[in-house]
Amino acid sequence: MFPTFTIQVPSSVIEGELQKKIDNKTKPLGSLGELERIAFQLGRIQNCVTPDVSKAKMIVFAADHGVVAQGISLFPQEVTPQMVMNFLMGGAAVSVFCEQHSVPLRVVDVGVNAELDEHPLLGARKVAFASKDFSQEAAMTAEQVEQAIQAGVEEVDLAIDDGVNLLMFGEMGIGNTCVSSCMMTALIGMNATDTTGRGTGLDKAGVSHKAHIIEQSLKRAEQATGQLMADWSAQTLAEQVGGFEILAMAGAMLQSAQRHTAFVVDGFICSVALLFAKKMAPHVTEYAVFAHQSNEKAHRILLDNLNAEPILSLDLRLGEGSGAILAYPLIQSSCVFLNRMASFESAGVAESK
């Protein structure tokens, strides 16, 4: 059965008290800019005037994609399990940044095309050894869609039950920018040439080929389903052109929101996962903190569609949660100023007239 989620909009009861506390800090009104917006959002989500993100966790979901057979990536599929091992051994960008900021990292295999050895940081939730080549057939079955989403749900439950109060998500999977662009094209109804970017570094001809494969894949799926992509349900879209790690991230976001826990959205691929999650439960975006605007071509369009204001713009296009963990210290600072900065009254400072 396709999963459903009940997500409530964060309570507005505390908004007045929260805004008053923000405004009464020893600073001109609004002078801490985006930090004030984040503090307000976290306070609403946690329903308190002392939000806390001190126990964060990074979860990276990994999977392979059959469409790689169509030559849409510079890197071979073998890189996915190799990079998973790099994460686990502490050598990847997200690994070293998580270590820098004392954030535990967990890597979840939902569809890597290899047998992976057991490891303390590895979650074994393999749905299949890669999705199918969606240019030729549906990417996955209905049962696999459910399994992938459930993998994200269960990982979030484990984390929150362990006391985690801020979740960050990342991904790994050769070919997943192609999958993400395809999903975005179907979800927003744009032309594939506008949603397709360089990914891991394709040249102009490579990008054009990738856009062609996406257009071909969507036409195949429309013929197979007998429906225009604009009429697809979330389940149909996922079956036809989804990716296991993207669906797992969507499930993780939905469960985070269902459990009233904020989560950090990384770059383009993670934002597509949120776009898909929004199709399932629109209020999920209330719980999302957007880390950065990536260098991937369509990410700004996607952020505008989500009405999102990211914290950073560092020309990143790495994925794997790297932007989310880089934004974490600023998210921490939003709580620190709200919880520890003096008020005009406590500091004996005169307020503006």
- Structural domains in the chain plus CATH codes: 56-329 (3.40.50.10210)
Whether 79 shows a pLDDT value over 90: the answer reads: yes
CA triple 120-123-126, angle to 5 deg: 140
Band (pLDDT 50/70/90 cuts) for residue 336 is very high
- Which band of pLDDT confidence, cut at 50, 70 and 90, is reported for residue 347? confident
Q: How many CB atoms lie within 10 A of CB 142?
A: 14
Q: Is 252 left (phi over 0), alpha (psi -120 to 50) or beta?
A: alpha
- Stated as kind and residue range, the H or E segment containing 62 is strand 56-63
pLDDT, mean of residues 203-230:
96
The whole-chain average pLDDT of the chain stands at 96
Report the C-alpha gap between 343 and 133 in whole angstroms. 58
C-beta of residue 320 within 8 angstroms of C-beta of residue 32: no
Report d(CA 26, CA 39) in Å as an integer: 16
- Which sign does the torsion angle of CA 228, 234, 240, 243 carry? positive
Neighbouring-strand partners of residue 263: 167, 288
- With 0-12 / 13-18 / 19 or more C-beta atoms within 10 angstroms meaning exposed / middle / buried, residue 67 is buried
Compare 295 and 124 and report the one with higher pLDDT: 124
Say how far apart CA 323 and CA 329 lie, in whole Å: 11
Can you tell me the mean pLDDT for 101-109?
98
Q: How many CB atoms lie within 10 A of CB 82?
A: 13
Q: Would you say residue 200 has pLDDT above 80?
A: no
Question: Under 8 Å CB-to-CB from 138, ≥6 apart: which residues?
Answer: 132, 221, 224, 239, 240
Residue of 34, 320, 345, 351 marked catalytic: 320
**pLDDT for the residue 300:** 94
In the chain, DSSP finds a helix count (H) and a strand count (E) of 14, 6
For residue 197, name the pLDDT band (cuts at 50, 70, 90): confident
Q: DSSP readout, 15-46?
A: HHHHHHHHHTBSS-TTTTHHHHHHHHHHHHHH
Structure confidence at residue 339 as a pLDDT band (50, 70, 90): very high
Residue 320 annotated among the catalytic residues of the structure: yes
Which residues, including other chains, have CB under 8 Å from residue 300's CB and lie 6 or more apart?
Answer: 293
What pLDDT does 353 receive?
66
294, 323 contact by CB (below 8 A): yes
**What are 15-51's pLDDT values in tens digits?**
999 999 999 999 999 999 999 999 999 999 999 999 9
Q: Environment class of residue 49 by beta-carbon count within 10 Å: exposed (0-12), middle (13-18) or buried (19+)?
A: middle
Percentage of residues in the chain having pLDDT higher than 70: 99
Please tell me the predicted confidence (pLDDT) of residue 206: 84
Q: Does residue 307 surpass a pLDDT of 70?
A: yes
Summarize pLDDT for 56-71 with one digit per residue, the tens: 999 999 999 999 999 9
Average pLDDT over residues 190-207: 88
pLDDT value of position 1:
82
Q: How far is CA 313 from the centre of its chain?
A: 16
pLDDT(239) > 80 = yes
